[in-house]
Structures are given as C-alpha cells and as structure tokens.
C-alpha cells in the first residue's frame, strides 16, 4: 500500500544502518543537518502520491493502491499510464532527483516481468525470489537504492583481475544465506533508502561466477557500510539555495564486509550467463522510459528558467533568443524520442511490454552532451548576473535594502525577484550540487565511450546497412528495400 511521507520517514530513521558522512557515523538520517532537507523532499514525494492519487496510484488486484512505478507493463496503455505518474513526480523536483524511489521500482517491475530470463539455466528459485521481492517492495512501498558498478582500482588490470578481490563476490554459504564481500559504487539515494538492490551492470567473465550476483538486503543488514561522498546539501533557506537545500540525493560507496544475504533474497547466484542476459532483454527500454521522463522535466525546467533569466533583465538580444531556442530544442527532441519510444512499444517476451528501445539508444549517449551544453548556455546567458544575487537575509537587512533595491532591480521586476531567479540559476548550474548533477548526467547510464558503440552494434543487428547504399548506387528508385522497417528485438543492456 502506498505510504505517506510520515510513514516513510519513520521507516528510515534510527534503524541501525551504518552510514558515514563527513568523517562521522550518522545516527539518524532524518535529523542530520546535511541530510534532513532531502529526506523531507522524498517524504513529500510519498505524500504527493496521495494528494494526486488519480495520476500517481493504481489499484493492484493483490495489493490495493500502489504507485504507478510498480506497474508491470502488459500493454502500451500501461506504459502511458505509468508515464502520467512518473511525469508528475519528476516535475516537482525539476528532474533533479535522478534516483527518486520510482527509479528502482520501475527496474524491479521490469525484472519481475521478465522473470523468464532469471529462470534460465535452472534458476527458478532466483526468478521466484525476484517476483516475490518486487511484490514486497510494492506492498510496503519501500524506497530502494542500487549499486551495479565495480569499483575502479587499476585500469591496467584485466577485467578479471580488476574484479578479483575488490568487486562484490561470494565468499561462502550457510544453510540459509550466501556470504558476500567486496565493494560497489555508487549507491545514489543510499542514506534515504529502505533497501539496497545489487544487480548486474556490465557482464562478468565466465570464469568469475562468484561475481555474478544479484540480491537485495535491508539497509541495516550487518556488515553493510555506506560511505557517503561530501555533502553538497546546505542548511539554507530555499530562496537562497532552492536545490542544494532540498535535492542532494547523495551517492555512497558500499562496502560489503562479509554480508549474509538470505537465500530467499538472492536472484542470481553465480551464473554469468543470466547475469549478462537480464540487462540485455529490456532493461534499457524499460528504465529509459523513466530516465527520459526525468530528463525531459529537467530540460523543460532549464528552458523555462533560462527564459526568465533573460526576461528579468529585459534582454532582447537575438543572440539570447538563439541560445534559448537551443535549450528548447533539446527538450523537444527528448519529448519526441519519448513519444516515439512509447508509440513503438511492443511485447518483449513473457507478456511484458517495454518501449521501442531505438529512440532511447540514441538518447542515452547524446543526453550527457546536451546537459553539458545547457550548463554552458546558462553561463553564457547569465554572465555576472549569476553572482550579483543578494541572499534573503541580505534583502531583509535594512542597511542594505535601499542600495539593493536601487542598483540590483531587474527590467520590470524588483530586486527580490531578480535575485530569486538568478540564485536558482546558479544553484542549477554553478553550485557544488550542480557540478555533481552534471557528473551524474554524464555517467549515470554509463559513458558515451560505452553507449555509442552499443548503439552502433545494435543498429548493425537490426538492419543490413549495405542495402541502404545499394538502394542508391545500384537499384535507384526501382526497388528500395523496406524490410529494415520491421523492428527486431535487440537490446544492448
Ligand atoms: C553522480 C553519480 C551517481 C551514480 N549513481 C549510481 C548508482 O546509483 N548506482 C550505480 O550502480 N552506479 C552509479 N553511478 C556509477 C555509474 O553507473 C558509473 O560511473 C557509470 O556506469 C560509468 O562507469 P565508469 O565510471 O566505469 O565509466 P566508463 O563508462 O568506464 O568510462 C569511464 C572512462 O571512459 C573515458 N571516457 C568517458 N567519457 C569519454 C568521452 N566522452 N570521450 C573519451 N573518453 C571518455 C574516460 O577515460 C573515463 O574514465 C553513479 C555515478 C555518478 C557519477
């Protein structure tokens, strides 16, 4: 059943989890000054689903009202229904919470829907565990984080050596549990999550079955240690720091110091083939519906905010309009790709529907460049105005206010409004949190060094491109080959 924000906060408070931040062990993530702002924001997302139940909740025949992110899509309509709720939530945070709890919900719904893949090679128990776990997360409306990447220690080493002792691997087994050791990076949202899910990232070599693991554990499981990066959350009024005060979702390194994972929470146990396959049979198409909705919310917000930056200082320069048009273009191309992917949705197997992956495959390596460009465009449009921004406290200081009102007003707006817009713009592109957010956009779906080649490999599987050349050079208008227009199920994981 869908939880309220209050119920969510009660669940993650002082539950014994081992979270380190700034050299200290955090007693209670809901009261820590660097974390409580974001904890409250996530609680608001839980409340939102009740306030806007029509968009955010669906009636699950077994569980009652659950968030749309738990839908296992069985039709194009299911995907469209899911989008309505995801879009509403993403707009409340301008797409700045990349790993709002609905992210992993969507992933788990995809995995449970494709339980047939987990069941390969006699892994029926792992598949059943995955199906049961997805139901469990939906039933208790849990917030989950995930860690799928092995730590980088020495890029000179082969993948196998690199995996050796550092990456998460199985070191033993009891009657009821497997014992896991190693590290994974980075678990975004970790301090604010109820559970950690470990699932495949890149395939592991066949001779490293001990590294081919997928499982889930509660955050307070003994042996689990979370080391947060520096906090970029600030304890400041929302006027001064609208995003840093509320949207630092954190990223944590996860250490597994001989963690016992109950066997009924293990989804893959030492099978590199399943490990590789679960990420190449719909994962991209499924999760990228979520991430594209979020990216769209962020790009639309960027366009709207940049437009206001220009308006408050009355900038009629055609150069500014050109830059604004460029930002809008990125938003619109993202929206078009999302529409195209949903329109082209089809059954991927086991009765599960995911979008057409091709538009997403194109967006995946391209979006990071667009976001980097958006940042550049904000700097170009904002100039020094990004820094001539009194704080709320300064605006309320009688000795300063007349000077601020006189010299720092905008074209048709007062000094307060001008400061509000430009402070938001700086927090969006220039603050420490903003820098982290751009790093996130660059890497959260792997780097373009990996994803452009994957796009090329998939394109080659889908169509004989030599025919395209032949149509022009040999056949002319006589017989253009249209066979390629038929979509094939290919995925790149
Ligand atoms: C803010 C943030 C949050 C994250 N959150 C999570 C999370 O919640 N869960 C999780 O499992 N993982 C998370 N990650 C990890 C993320 O999944 C990995 O960083 C990502 O998969 C990239 O892997 P990699 O670092 O090995 O990079 P690779 O894909 O291996 O690429 C890295 C290397 O490729 C080269 N390279 C990259 N781009 C280019 C380019 N354009 N041109 C030329 N060379 C290039 C560089 O040498 C670079 O070092 C997060 C990462 C970040 C930054």
Taking residues 131-148, report their average pLDDT. 98
Strands 177-188 and 64-67: unpaired
Whether residues 37 and 109 share a domain: the answer is yes
- For 164, the 3-state DSSP assignment is coil
- For 91, the 3-state DSSP assignment is helix
167 lines ligand 1 (CB under 6 A): no
CB 190 within 8 A of CB 143: no
Query: Is 62 inside any structural domain?
Result: yes
Domain boundary among 277, 293, 324: 277
Whether residues 225 and 319 share a domain: the answer is no
* Among the listed residues 94, 371, 446, 368, the one whose alpha carbon sits nearest the alpha carbon of residue 249: 94
> Taking 70 as the threshold, does the pLDDT of residue 488 lie above it?
no
Taking residues 189-212, report their average pLDDT. 93
Ligand 1 center to 446 CA (angstroms) = 5
CB 226 within 8 A of CB 183: no
147 lines ligand 1 (CB under 6 A): yes
> pLDDT confidence of 492, banded at 50, 70, 90?
very low
| Structural domain total, the chain | 2
Ligand 1 center to 440 CA (angstroms) = 8
Mean of all residue pLDDT scores within the chain: 94
Whether residues 164 and 313 share a domain: the answer is no
188 lines ligand 1 (CB under 6 A): yes
439 lines ligand 1 (CB under 6 A): yes
Protein residue with its CA nearest to atom 52 in ligand 1: 440
The domain of 269 spans: 5-277
Ligand 1 center to 445 CA (angstroms) = 8
Protein residue with its CA nearest to atom 44 in ligand 1: 449
Distance CA 115, CA 267 (A): 10
Ordered alpha helix ranges (H), 57-158: 76-92, 102-113, 115-118, 124-140
Q: What is the pLDDT of residues 84-107, one digit of tens each?
A: 999 999 999 999 999 999 999 999
Whether residues 270 and 350 share a domain: the answer is no
* Among the listed residues 217, 208, 215, the one whose alpha carbon sits nearest the alpha carbon of residue 163: 208
CATH code for position 448 = 1.20.140.10
CB 277 within 8 A of CB 319: no
Whether residues 195 and 341 share a domain: the answer is no
Distance CA 252, CA 293 (A): 25
Query: Is 293 inside any structural domain?
Result: no
Query: Is 229 inside any structural domain?
Result: yes
Query: Is 473 inside any structural domain?
Result: no
Which atom of ligand 1 is found nearest the CA of 187?
Answer: 8
Beta carbons within 8 Å of 19's beta carbon, 6+ residues apart:
25, 26, 29, 190, 191, 226, 228, 252
Q: What is the pLDDT of residues 214-258, one digit of tens each?
A: 999 999 999 999 999 999 999 899 999 999 999 999 999 999 999
CB 194 within 8 A of CB 144: yes
Whether residues 232 and 378 share a domain: the answer is no
- For 335, the 3-state DSSP assignment is helix
CATH code for position 146 = 2.40.110.10
Query: Is 463 inside any structural domain?
Result: no
Whether residues 206 and 84 share a domain: the answer is yes
Whether residues 222 and 309 share a domain: the answer is no
Q: What is the pLDDT of residues 339-389, one digit of tens each?
A: 999 999 999 999 999 999 999 999 999 999 999 999 999 999 999 999 999
Whether residues 144 and 210 share a domain: the answer is yes
Whether residues 266 and 311 share a domain: the answer is no
Put simply, whether the predicted model's pTM sits higher than 0.85 gets the answer yes
187 lines ligand 1 (CB under 6 A): yes
Ligand 1 center to 44 CA (angstroms) = 30
Whether residues 112 and 62 share a domain: the answer is yes
Query: Is 273 inside any structural domain?
Result: yes
**Mutation probe of ligand 1 site: the residue of 104, 145, 147, 149 with most atoms within 8 A of C-beta:** 149
* Among the listed residues 81, 70, 131, 78, the one whose alpha carbon sits nearest the alpha carbon of residue 105: 70
146 lines ligand 1 (CB under 6 A): yes
């Amino acid at each position: 059943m869908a939880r309220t924000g209050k119920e969510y906060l009660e669940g993650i408070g002082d539950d014994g989890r081992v979270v380190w931040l700034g050299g200290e062990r955090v007693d209670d993530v809901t009261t820590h000054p660097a974390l409580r702002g974001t904890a409250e924001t996530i609680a608001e997302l839980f409340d939102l689903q009740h306030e806007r139940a029509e968009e955010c909740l669906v009636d699950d025949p077994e569980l009652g009202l659950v968030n749309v992110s738990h839908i296992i899509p069985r039709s194009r309509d299911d995907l469209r229904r899911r989008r309505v709720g995801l879009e509403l939530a993403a707009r409340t945070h301008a797409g700045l919470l990349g790993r709002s709890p609905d992210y992993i919900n969507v992933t788990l719904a995809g995995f449970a829907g494709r339980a047939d893949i987990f069941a390969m090679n006699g892994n029926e128990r792992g598949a059943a565990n995955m199906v049961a776990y997805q139901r469990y997360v939906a039933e208790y409306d849990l917030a989950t984080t995930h860690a799928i990447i092995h730590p980088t220690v020495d890029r000179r080493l082969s993948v196998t050596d690199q995996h050796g002792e550092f990456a998460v691997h199985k070191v033993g087994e009891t009657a009821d549990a497997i014992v896991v050791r190693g590290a994974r990076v980075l678990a975004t949202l970790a301090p604010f999550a109820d559970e950690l899910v470990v699932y495949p990232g890149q395939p592991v070599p066949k001779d490293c079955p001990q590294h081919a693991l997928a499982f889930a554990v509660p955050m307070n499981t003994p042996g689990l240690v979370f080391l947060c990066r520096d906090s970029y959350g600030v304890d400041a009024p929302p006027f001064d720091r609208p995003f840093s005060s509320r949207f630092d979702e954190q990223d944590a390194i996860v250490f597994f110091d001989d963690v016992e994972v109950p066997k009924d929470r293990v989804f893959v146990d030492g099978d590199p083939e399943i490990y590789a396959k679960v990420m190449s049979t719909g994962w991209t198409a499924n999760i990228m519906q979520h991430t594209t909705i979020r990216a769209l919310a962020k790009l639309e917000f960027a366009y709207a905010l940049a437009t206001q930056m220009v308006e408050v200082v009355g900038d009629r320069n055609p150069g500014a309009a050109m830059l604004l048009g460029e930002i809008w273009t990125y938003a619109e191309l993202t929206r078009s790709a999302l529409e195209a992917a949903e329109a082209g949705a089809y059954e991927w197997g086991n009765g599960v529907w995911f979008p057409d992956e091709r538009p997403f495959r194109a967006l995946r390596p391209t979006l990071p460049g667009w976001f980097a460009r958006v940042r550049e465009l904000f700097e170009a449009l904002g100039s020094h105005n990004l820094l001539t921004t009194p704080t709320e406290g300064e605006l309320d200081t009688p000795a300063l206010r007349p000077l601020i009102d006189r010299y720092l007003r905008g074209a048709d707006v007062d000094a307060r409004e001008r400061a509000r817009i430009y402070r938001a713009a700086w927090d969006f592109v220039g603050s420490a949190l903003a820098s982290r957010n751009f790093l996130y956009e660059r890497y959260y779906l792997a780097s373009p060094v990996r994803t452009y080649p994957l796009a090329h490999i998939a394109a080659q599987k889908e169509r004989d491109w030599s025919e395209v050349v032949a149509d022009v050079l040999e056949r002319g208008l006589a017989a253009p080959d249209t066979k390629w227009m038929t979509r094939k199920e290919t995925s790149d994981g």
